[in-house]
Structure 1
Amino acid sequence: NGAWHKVRDDATLRFMFVAAVFYGLSTFEGSFMAIRPVNSLSHYTDWTVGHVHSGTLGWVAMIVFGAIYTLVPKLSGRDGMAWPQAVEWHFWLAVAGTLVYVVSLWNAGITQGLMWRAYDENGSLSYSFIESVEAMRPYYAARTLGGALFLAGLVICVLNCRATMRAAGSRADSADRPLAAHPAE
């Protein structure tokens, strides 16, 4: 109960827990994509792009956000962030945005791979390149939505960090300000 309670309530730990999950998934997916039949389907498609972004947004960005929410209060001499509820919003926007973004790319990639290898009875490709691009429209719309959610969370993070540093700065200014306004000679 204690450890789960800590992960549930400590946003730093939550970001890092999600990062570890994405790291494991990306590592497994990379090995899975190296299998020849899977590689022949996924190669040159958005599936590969989705794989990279699951590692980038899911692992790297989440671990960085966790580090930011650990370091900014410590550097500011505070116990926590200025807006704790904003950290919660950032967490859920980042997780939802990453999932929507990555899942849309995985689905787009599988659709592309299947369309590019479909042949008609004459041995010609069943779909033109333009038809495969047009089939991507809903996936790219979802990708845009996921990216917007992730970006909204990032903006909240930046504003929260700024508020945390400014609140600390106003306290530090009164204690660290020199007595004389002119420079020493």
Structure 2
Amino acid sequence: MSVTLDTVGPRSLRRRIEPLLTGAADAVQRHMRERMPDTLVRLAGAGDFGPAVVEATGGTPRLWRQLWQGEQMRSTAHIATGMTLPTHDGRVLVLLHTEAMREDDQVMPTLVHEFAHAVQMGRPAVANAALARNRHHLGLGKQSRRWLADHNASVARDEDEAYRIENLLTPTLATA
């Protein structure tokens, strides 16, 4: 397992966040008793979330649906502090919303939450389903309504797990 901080984003935020990555990743893996796949952490503005989804699926950014999805992701990013995506090559991409990371009280909860999702993406069925969903929304694949409904229920369970881990681990990591 390697957690790497991308060279993209404000240098001051990268310097503040980089020393926290290993501790947060180790704590999440110990708690979940699972390994995190190789993970790239990237600081991203709201407009960078959509292109990152396209990049993660291995799509090309010129398709109309991909551009539409990019706009949907931009609106999501304005309220999100982070997002975790499986990539088409088996790695995980964690996006940290640059503006949210400027708030000290958002950094550790977001890292723990997104690293919990990164561990989940190490589960082959979770990663494959997330890629299939993203490809469906980008017009690169097709899933049935039933499949999408079942997948949404699975995503809700994964989200609940990530929030439980965030609430449990963040207080101990914030004081460490």
State the TM-score, normalizing by the size of structure 2: 0.38
Structure richer in helix, relative to its length: 1
Which protein has the larger Cα radius of gyration, Structure 1 or Structure 2? 1
Structure richer in strand, relative to its length: 2
